[in-house]
Structure 1
Amino acid sequence: MMPTPGFPPSTLNTEGTPIWITDLAAGDPNHILHVVRGIEPAEALEVLGAKQSLIQACELPDSTPDERTSLPAAALGIEPGTSAALLAGRIGEWTFVYDDSGFTYDDAATKALSADGRMAATSVYTINGDASLTYAVDGEQVQWVNIDDLVLEADLPSMPAELRAAFEAAGTIELEGFESGEADRQIAMRAACSLASLALTLSVLRRVPLLVVPLG
């Protein structure tokens, strides 16, 4: 696998998923990554529907009890399927919220995160392999990218500059069944991470103050 422009060695798995997300996720993930600039993690969780009283500091466990359980769910001690687990933290100007169950899949969520002059993006990857990215600024959706329809050479020039730069940094992965330069299924996750400067590993993430909350 050739490295993509915005990701150092050992920050992607063999399918091109950011390795810290792979390490958080359960097997066969159905998950979402929200990134937003200029908001604290607890506030972002509340925007997404979390109850303030349930938000707690999180130290991620070393492992999970089974492949159906994500690390955030293991930290909460919840059974798979009983609730979504949302994990949030801030690195630099950007806050991320990882949703292990896709519970916060709603375009309105990205708009709400971007309110009051902020910028936000939401990357979705479903258990069926559907992938997309929503980009919003100041409470309004600016772009929705369906990875099935994404043609990088044709579509990148019309994207907002910061989003275009994120997809350029995400690059492409040489995978069986994909043409050279074709958008793969994980490019939206890489683009969201590129936008928010989240090309990192789980060991780096463990050094960041984290919050976790059950939802749903």
Structure 2
Amino acid sequence: MSTPGFPAGTLDSVGTPIWISALAEEQPHHTVHVVRGLEPTEALELLGAKPRLFQRCMIPRDRPETWRSAPAEDTFTMLAGRIGDWTFVYDAEGATSFDADSSPTTVPAKKLSADGRVAATSTVTFTMKTDLGYAVDGEVVVHVINGGLPYVETELPAELQAAIDAAGTFEPSYEDQADTSVYLRVLAALADLRCTTDDLRHISLVATPFG
């Protein structure tokens, strides 16, 4: 295991940032978005959530059977908060990961990064397919899938390259097991969300259903 950007206690046994694991179901199909310079409620609106359904929430000490019980009730599938300059949105069902005409991750990253912002999105599916979209000022700069290293003709943005370096590699328990959490580590490193679930209990969180 080599994950130089993550202190002890911030990753779970398969290399997923532990705060994401705490929100996820046992076999998740989920999406995580990060954006710099946008409030949580604004990010949720851009992703299609309705402000009238937003509720402030806290994560309980004891993990519920499904994380969606944590904010309020089972209908709440999205959770958003802000630490420093970066806002995160956790989508427990992956409902915000794509639309009918576009590849996964590219649409939300473009929307969130509009007006000069930087955003990134990663989805992990039931079948353990993964991808990462990184966008600047409404344009996708990098989109990679299934753990492949980003390849572009020009040099990667410095902050993205630093996040990739910080994410490092995580050796699986079994030889045929892929590192499906690498893109989630990249997102967490990019947004400096190398934190624990307890850290999330000290910030204001917004929960909402999608749509």
**Please, which moves more after superposition, 137-146 or 57-66?**
57-66
SS at match of 2:144: strand
CA distance in structure 1 between the partners assigned to 2:154 and 2:179 by the alignment: 19
CA contact (8 A) 2:22 2:63 kept: no
CA distance in structure 2 between the partners assigned to 1:37 and 1:108 by the alignment: 17
Amino acid at match of 1:186: S
Structure 1 vs Structure 2 CA RMSD: 2.1
Post-superposition offset of 1:215:
1.0
For structure 1, which runs of at least 5 residues remain unmatched after alignment?
Answer: none
**Which residue matches 1:173?**
170
C-alpha spacing 1:73/1:144, structure 2 compared with 1 (3 Å): farther
C-alpha spacing 1:124/1:10, structure 2 compared with 1 (3 Å): same
Post-superposition offset of 1:76:
2.5
**Which residue matches 1:190?**
185
**Which residue matches 1:93?**
85
Pairing 1:4-15 to 2, within 5 Å after superposition: 4-15=3-14
Post-superposition offset of 1:159:
2.5
CA distance in structure 2 between the partners assigned to 1:151 and 1:56 by the alignment: 38
For structure 2, which runs of at least 5 residues remain unmatched after alignment?
Answer: 99-105
Amino acid at match of 1:25: A
CA distance in structure 1 between the partners assigned to 2:189 and 2:92 by the alignment: 20
Pairing 1:101-120 to 2, within 5 Å after superposition: 101-106=93-98, 107-120=106-119
CA distance in structure 2 between the partners assigned to 1:205 and 1:138 by the alignment: 28
C-alpha spacing 1:32/1:13, structure 2 compared with 1 (3 Å): same
CA distance in structure 1 between the partners assigned to 2:109 and 2:44 by the alignment: 12
Aligned pairs, number = 203
Could you tell me the percent identity over the aligned residues?
48
CA contact (8 A) 2:79 2:207 kept: yes
Post-superposition offset of 1:184:
1.9
**Which residue matches 2:42?**
43
CA distance in structure 1 between the partners assigned to 2:135 and 2:32 by the alignment: 14
**Which residue matches 2:140?**
141
SS at match of 2:96: coil
Q: TM-score, normalised by structure 1?
A: 0.87
Could you list the structure 1 runs, at least 4 aligned residues long, displaced by more than 6 angstroms after superposition.
Answer: 154-157
1:212 partnered with 2:207 = yes
CA contact (8 A) 2:58 2:70 kept: no
**Which residue matches 2:103?**
none
1:80-99 deviation per Cα after TM superposition (whole angstroms, max 9, x unaligned): xxx56111110000000000
CA contact (8 A) 1:76 1:214 kept: no
SS at match of 2:184: helix
**Which residue matches 1:164?**
161
1:171-190 deviation per Cα after TM superposition (whole angstroms, max 9, x unaligned): 001223269xxx72110000
C-alpha spacing 1:65/1:161, structure 2 compared with 1 (3 Å): closer
CA distance in structure 2 between the partners assigned to 1:99 and 1:42 by the alignment: 14
CA distance in structure 1 between the partners assigned to 2:116 and 2:140 by the alignment: 12
